[in-house]
Structures are given as C-alpha cells and as structure tokens.
Amino acid sequence: MSLLHAVLGFVATQPMTGYELGKAFSTTAAHFWPADQSQLYRTLHRAEADGLVESTTVEQASRPDRRLYSILEPGRAALKTWLASPLEPDTSREPFLLRLFFAASLGAAGVIELLDQRRSSAVELLTTLDALAASAPPKFSKPALAIRLQYATLESGRAHARAEITWLDELRSQLADPKESTR
C-alpha cells in the first residue's frame, strides 16, 4: 500500500487540511500505518499535481490561510481501484525480531533487558490504543460500515499489542528460568 492511497482514503471521508490529515492519521491509523507530517504534505502535493485532489484556500482573519484538500473523481476512482485490487503480500520488516534473532551474544541478562524494553513499548502502545478505544463512539447497534471498520482496525492493534506482551512475558520467563535457558 502506498501512502497516497491512505491520504486519498482520509480525504474521501471529508475535505481536510494537511494539519487535519496529520491529526486524523495520528489518532486512527498510526498504529498500523505511520506517517509524519512532511510525508503527508508531499503526498498531498503530488496527489494535487496528479489531479487526484484539489485544494482551496480558506482565508482566516487571525491566522494564516489554510489549504483545504478535497478528493476529485480521478482520486475516488484510484482509491476504488486500489481497494478492489488483490492484496499485496505482506512484507513487513520487524527490526526488533531481527535484533532478537542475533541477540544471543548479549547473554540471558542482556536479552531479558531487550525484552523488557520491547514490553515497555508494547504496553505504551496498548495504553494509547486503549485511550483511543475509550474515546471512540460506544459499541454501536447499527453503525455505519466505515465506523465499524475503523473500530475493527483499532481492535486489531489492541489484540496484537496484548498478544505481543503475552509472548514477551512467556519468553522472558523461559530465559529467567536457568533450566529453560540451557535447552
């Protein structure tokens, strides 16, 4: 997936400024597709140059003018084509797992420290996602499909974080047990 498709997806929901787009990313999709503000602005500019979105200037009395981006029909078509296309193979990279793969030279204590650092990060992520879930609309009786799917991605992130914490705890326990670490 390219960042362009994510940007088109957000702008398709409602016109947004680059700042609003960054806020939308950080509060909804950052746990599975991070993007920094400069990447978002570059992507918006490229999408505008390609005729996928357009921007209008919104004048403000006491602040600098804002550029509001709206999706155009070619952008909707590009988004729809991407959504309907076959899934790409998931080729994610996991720097932590690569480090763990080679961490034997650190000894059990060093590996446990590495696991504890990762666990701390996973707990922090879970705390953030739990806060997002708490501020999400209540469990819906007949929610709009878009809201249901957005909530599902949040639940996926929470499930992955909980699973990683469990896995890290189990591995740490094995390494802390002298009988287990010699196997």
Residue 59 sits in a domain of what CATH number? 1.10.10.10
pLDDT at 26 (0 to 100):
87
Look at the block and give the residue holding tokens 């809201």: 147
Is 89 domain-assigned?
no
Region 33-49: mean pLDDT is: 94
* pLDDT tens track for 74-118: 999 999 999 999 988 887 788 999 899 999 999 999 999 999 999
pLDDT at 144 (0 to 100):
82
Q: How far is Cα 120 from Cα 164, in angstroms, rounded to an integer?
A: 11
Are 175 and 101 in the same domain? yes
User: What is the model's pTM?
Assistant: 0.75
Domain limit, last residue, from 32, 62, 84: 84
Domain limit, last residue, from 84, 104, 127: 84
pLDDT at 97 (0 to 100):
93
Region 20-32: mean pLDDT is: 89
Are 8 and 41 in the same domain? yes
Residue 183 has pLDDT above 70, yes or no: no
Instruction: Band the pLDDT of 178: cuts 50, 70, 90.
Output: low
Q: How far is Cα 25 from Cα 32, in angstroms, rounded to an integer?
A: 10
Are 75 and 109 in the same domain? no
What average pLDDT does the structure give for the chain?
A: 89
DSSP 67-122: EEEEE-HHHHHHHHHHHHSPPPP-----HHHHHHHTGGGGHHHHHHHHHHHHHHHH
* 136: phi then psi, degrees, rounded to nearest 5: -75, 160
Centre a 10 Å sphere on the Cβ of residue 64 and count the other Cβ atoms it contains: 7
pLDDT at 138 (0 to 100):
60
The domain tally of the chain equals: 2
Is 51 domain-assigned?
yes
Domain limit, last residue, from 37, 65, 84: 84
Range of the domain at 138: 95-180
Region 157-183: mean pLDDT is: 85
pLDDT at 179 (0 to 100):
65
Distances (CA, A) of 112 to 109, 173, 175: 5, 9, 7
* 104: phi then psi, degrees, rounded to nearest 5: -55, -30
